[in-house]
Structure 1
Amino acid sequence: MIRIDGVRWAYAGAAAPTLNDFTLKVMRGETVVLCGPSGSGKSTALRLMNGLIPHFHEGELDGTVHLDGQAVADLALDQLGRLTGTVLQHPRRQFFTDECEAELAFAMENFGEPAERIRERVSLVVDEHHLRGIAGRRLQDLSGGQQQQVACAAAAAHRPPLLLFDEPTSNLSAAAIERFTATLSRLRAGGATIIIAEHRLHFLRGVADRVVAMREGRVETEWSGAEFAALNDDTLSAEGLRTLSPTPRRVLPRIRAHGPSIDGNTPSSGPVEAGVTLRGVGCAFHGRRVLDIEEAYLPAGAITAVTGPNGAGKSTLARVLTGLQRHEGEVLLGGRRLGRAERQRASGIVMQDVQRQLFTDSVSAELRLGLSGGEQFGDLLRSLDLEPFHDRHPLSLSGGQQQRLVVAAARLGARRIVVFDEPSSGVDRRHLHSIAQVMRELAAEGVIVLVISHDDELLDLAADRELQLRVLDGASSINR
C-alpha cells in the first residue's frame, strides 16, 4: 500500500532536514504505529503519505514515495483525497464546514456522490462513531475532544483505503479512547490500512500489527505487535516511549466546590484564602448551558486537576478564569472581585492548540515577549530541550516542541493564575516529566495552577487536588 524509499525532506528555510534516509513499507490492511520523541518526524512522515508533501508544503524532497503503486508526486489531489483520510493533531484546522453532519458529508459531496447515498452514509457514520448526541451542533461550540471525534469520523466517512491519524487521542477521555479503539478494530476488520502517530501507547497494545520507532527523521527500531506488547517499561523508557499500561487514577482530595456542573459536590466553607473563588459562574452557548458552578475555591500554591468527560465545560472554565469568556457570576482573587480585563493581566494559559499563541519570529523572542525585566531562561530552555532551537521560527517546530515553548512562556510570565489545557498533547515520556516540573515550580511560588487533562500519566506526576466536572443535564455529550 505504501512504499517510501530513502526520503530526505527539508522544509523551505529549514537549516536541517526533518526526514533523512526515511524508508518504510506498509502492506495493505496493516495497522502501523509511528512513535518516538517529539520532533522525530512522525507528522512529516504522515504528510508524505497523504500528499501534503510535496503538493502543499514547500521544501526539498529526495527519494521516492509510492501510494497504491503510484508515485504520490504524480497523483492529482482528488485522487489522493479518495485514497486517504487524515486526522491532524489539531482538528479545527481541517474543518471545512461549520456543523457536524455537514463535515461528515463534505468529502463525499466533493466527489459527487448521490445525495441519498451521502445521507445514508452520514447517518451510519454518526451511529458508528457515537456522535448522535452532537449531530446538528456547530463545530465551534464543541469541546476539543468532541472536535477530535468528529474529525476521526469525517476522515473515515468516504471509506478511503488508507487512514492516517496524528495524535488522535490527545484530547480524548478514557471512555472516548475505548470507543476510538473499538472503531479502529472495526476499520481494520473492514480492510483499511491504518497509520497512527502517537505518544499515548497503552490503548494500541493488541491493536497494532507493527510499531515503528523514529528518531532524527529515520526509522530507528521496529517491533511486531506481539513484540511491542511484551516490552517492559525499562525498554520503553530507554526509547523515550510512554507506558503500555494504563496509569491507575490516583485518588486526589477534592477542592471545595458545589453546583450543577460539579461531579461530587463538596460545600465551600471557611475563610477566603489567597486562591480564586468562583461564585454563581455560568455560561451558555446558543441557549445550551455548558457550565454552572455555584461556588468553588481554587487554592494557591497547589496544582488542581480539572477532569471530566469531553463536553463538560473544562476549557470553558479555563477561558472564564483567564478573562477570555463572558459569563455570569463573579471571580474573586484573594477575596477581591476581578473583572475580565484584570484576569487577563493576572493570568496565563497554555491552550489546546498552542499555534494560536505564537506571535514572534524566533523561540527566544517568543519567551522574551511576556517578560518585564531581564530574566534569563537558558536553564528552562535546556530542561525542555528547546535550547538548540533558540533562533528557529516557532512555526517551524514540531507540535510537541511548540507545546513545550508555550509551556516555557507560561512559566516565565509571572502570572498569579496559570492554566494548562491538555498540555501533554504531542509530548513524549521525557518531556511529560519536564512539563510536570514546570507546574511544580509555579505552584511552589504560590501560583494558582490548573491543569485540564485526560492524561492520567501527567496527573499522576503533577496533580495535588481535583475538580471533577460533569456534563449538565440537557446538554449533549458523546461520552455518556
Structure 2
Amino acid sequence: MITLDDITYIYPFQSQAALTGVRLHVARGEAIAVTGASGCGKSSLVRVINGLIPHHYQGEWDGQARIAGYSPREASLAEISSRVGTLFQDPEQQFFALHVEDELAFAHEQRGEDPAVIEARVRWAMGRFQLTGLADASVYDLSDGQKQRVGLAEVMSRAPSVLVLDEPTANLDPEATRELADHLAELREEGVTLVIVDHRLYWLTDLVDRILVMEGGCLAMSGSASEVARERLRFGLRRLEVVDQRGALPEVPASGEGHLRVSGLAFAYRNGPTVIKGMDLCLPSGEIVGVLGPNGAGKTTLARLLTGLLRPDAGEIRVRGRVLSGCALMHRTSVVLQNTDHQLHMRTVEEEITSAAQGARVQTDPAWIAGLLHEYGLTALRHRHPQSLSGGEKQRLVVACGHARKPELFVLDEPTSGLDGANLAIIVQNLQRIADSGTCVMVITHDLELIECACTRQLTLPGC
C-alpha cells in the first residue's frame, strides 16, 4: 500500500535534508505509528505519503515512492487524495463550511458528484461517526472531540484506502482520545491502512502493529511497543504506559489558610451563560495543581480571572491575605496561554525573557537571565528570533518568560500539547523548581502524562 525506497528530500532554500534515505513498506490494512523528537522529520514523511511533497512543497527529491498505487511524482494531488485521506492536528483548519452536514457534503459537491450519491455518503458518515444529532450544528460550537469526529467522518466519506493522522490527540481529553482509538480500530478491521503521527504513545500501544521512530530525518527504529519502550529515553520519547491519576490526587480545598484565596468568584460572558458561579478556592503555595474538566467547563476563563486578564462579576481574589484585582494581579501572576505565538514579541530569545521580567518589575542581571536560558535549554538559541523557533522551543521560551516574572501564581494552559518526551521533561523539571520556590502553579491540562509526572493536587471543574 505504501512503499518508500531511499527517499531523500530537501526543502527550498534549505541546505540540510529533511528526509535522508528513508525506506518503508506498509501493507494494506496495517496500522503504524510514527514518532520522534521535534524536528526529526515526521511531518515531512507525512507530506510524502499524502502527496503534499512534491505537489505543494517544492524542493529537491530523490528516490522512489508508491502510495496506494500512485507515484507522487506522476499522479496529481487530486488523484492521490482520492485514495489517501489526511486528518490534521486541528480539524477546524480543514473545514470549509459552517455546519456539520454542509461540511460533510462539501468535498463531494466540489467533485461534482450526483446529489443522491452525496446525500447517501453524508448519511452514512453521520451515522458511522455518531453525528446525526449534530447535523445542523455550527462547526465552531463543537467540542474538540466532536470536531475530530467531523473531520474523520468527512475524510472517510470519500472512502480512502490510506488514512494519515497528524498529532490527532494534541487537543483531546482522555475520553475523546479513547473514542478516537475505538473508531480507528474499527477502520483498521475494515482494511484501511493507518499512519498515525503522534508524540503521545500510550493510546497507540494496542492499536498499531508497529512504531517507527525517526531521528534527524532518518528512520532510526521500527519495532513493537515494548521494543520502543526500552529505547524511549535514547530518542526523547513520551511514555508508552501512563497511569491515570485523575481522581487519585487530593482536591484543592474550598476554604482554609492558603497562598491564594478565592471567595464567591462569578463570571459570565456578555449575552452568554454564567461560566464561573460562586467559586471558593484555597490554593496552597509550593504545589502543582492540575485543573481538570471537560471542554467548556471554564478552565481557561478561570485562568484569565486569576491573572487579571478578565474582571469578575462578583467575588474577590486574595494573594497572601491582600485583595488584588486588575493590574495588581497581572504584576503578581504569570499566565501561559495555548497559542505561544501571541505571547512572543521581541527580537531575540534573550530579550523576550528580559522583557517579561521587567514587565513584572523584577530586577534582573545578566547572570540570572543566563541561568534561566540554561535551565530551559535555550542558551544556544539566545540570539535567535522567537518566531524562528520550533514549537517545542517556543513552548519552553514562554514558560521561561513566565518564570522570569517570579510570580505568586503561575497558570499554564495546556503547556505540553504537541511536545515530545524530552521537552516535556524540561517543562516538568522547571515547574517543580518554580513550585519549590513557594509559587502556586496551576496547570490546565488533558495530558495524563503531565498529570502523573508533575501534579500534586487537582481542581476539577464540572461540565456545563
Question: Shorter-chain TM-score: which interval?
Answer: 0.7 to 0.9
Tell whether 2:334 aligns with 1:348: yes
Tell whether 2:96 aligns with 1:96: yes
Cα distance in 2 for residues equivalent to 1:283 and 1:58: 48
Tell whether 2:47 aligns with 1:34: no
Decide whether the 8 Å contact of 1:144 with 1:352 is kept in 2.
Answer: no
Secondary structure of the corresponding residue to residue 85 of structure 1: strand
Cα distance in 2 for residues equivalent to 1:7 and 1:390: 34
Cα distance in 2 for residues equivalent to 1:43 and 1:399: 13
Secondary structure of the corresponding residue to residue 418 of structure 1: strand
Cα distance in 2 for residues equivalent to 1:393 and 1:74: 39
- The equivalent of 1:231 in structure 2 is 227
- The equivalent of 1:252 in structure 2 is 249
Tell whether 2:74 aligns with 1:78: no
* More displaced stretch, 22-31 vs 198-207: 22-31
The 1:14–1:347 alpha-carbon spacing in structure 2 relative to 1, beyond 3 Å, is farther
- The equivalent of 1:307 in structure 2 is 292
Tell whether 2:413 aligns with 1:421: yes
**Which of 384, 399, 403 is the aligned partner of 2:395?**
403
Structure 1: stretches of 5+ with no match in the other structure: 257-267, 473-480
Secondary structure of the corresponding residue to residue 47 of structure 1: helix
The 1:379–1:83 alpha-carbon spacing in structure 2 relative to 1, beyond 3 Å, is farther
Secondary structure of the corresponding residue to residue 38 of structure 1: coil
Cα distance in 2 for residues equivalent to 1:52 and 1:367: 37
Decide whether the 8 Å contact of 2:260 with 2:282 is kept in 1.
Answer: yes
Tell whether 2:256 aligns with 1:270: yes
Decide whether the 8 Å contact of 1:283 with 1:326 is kept in 2.
Answer: no
Secondary structure of the corresponding residue to residue 296 of structure 1: strand
Q: How big is the alpha-carbon RMSD for the aligned residues of Structure 1 and Structure 2?
A: 3.2
Secondary structure of the corresponding residue to residue 96 of structure 2: coil
Secondary structure of the corresponding residue to residue 356 of structure 2: coil
Decide whether the 8 Å contact of 2:293 with 2:461 is kept in 1.
Answer: yes
* More displaced stretch, 31-40 vs 77-86: 77-86
Cα distance in 2 for residues equivalent to 1:290 and 1:402: 30
- Matching of residues 427-466 of structure 1 within 5 Å: 427-466=419-458
* More displaced stretch, 245-254 vs 41-50: 245-254
- The equivalent of 2:361 in structure 1 is none
- The equivalent of 2:314 in structure 1 is 329
Cα distance in 2 for residues equivalent to 1:392 and 1:15: 18
Secondary structure of the corresponding residue to residue 408 of structure 1: helix
Deviation at 1:27, TM superposition (A): 2.5
Secondary structure of the corresponding residue to residue 70 of structure 1: coil
Deviation at 1:197, TM superposition (A): 1.0
Secondary structure of the corresponding residue to residue 442 of structure 2: strand
* More displaced stretch, 155-164 vs 40-49: 155-164
Deviation at 1:288, TM superposition (A): 5.2
Deviation at 1:14, TM superposition (A): 4.5
Can you list the C-alpha shifts for 1:168-219, whole angstroms capped at 9, x where unaligned?
A: 1223222222211110111112222211111221221231122111111110
The 1:206–1:135 alpha-carbon spacing in structure 2 relative to 1, beyond 3 Å, is same
Can you list the C-alpha shifts for 1:226-264, whole angstroms capped at 9, x where unaligned?
A: xx14438544334433333231426211112xxxxxxxx
Cα distance in 2 for residues equivalent to 1:233 and 1:44: 24
Decide whether the 8 Å contact of 2:8 with 2:20 is kept in 1.
Answer: yes
The 1:342–1:191 alpha-carbon spacing in structure 2 relative to 1, beyond 3 Å, is farther
Cα distance in 1 for residues equivalent to 2:4 and 2:228: 30
Cα distance in 2 for residues equivalent to 1:199 and 1:470: 28
Structure 2: stretches of 5+ with no match in the other structure: 359-363
Decide whether the 8 Å contact of 1:364 with 1:391 is kept in 2.
Answer: yes
The 1:129–1:409 alpha-carbon spacing in structure 2 relative to 1, beyond 3 Å, is farther
Cα distance in 2 for residues equivalent to 1:157 and 1:465: 43
- The equivalent of 1:203 in structure 2 is 203
Say which one has the larger Rg: 2
Deviation at 1:291, TM superposition (A): 4.6
Aligned length: 456
Cα distance in 2 for residues equivalent to 1:14 and 1:357: 28
Can you list the C-alpha shifts for 1:414-472, whole angstroms capped at 9, x where unaligned?
A: 44432222222222223322211121122233333211122222112211211112212
Identity value in percent: 36
Paired amino acid for 1:454 = H
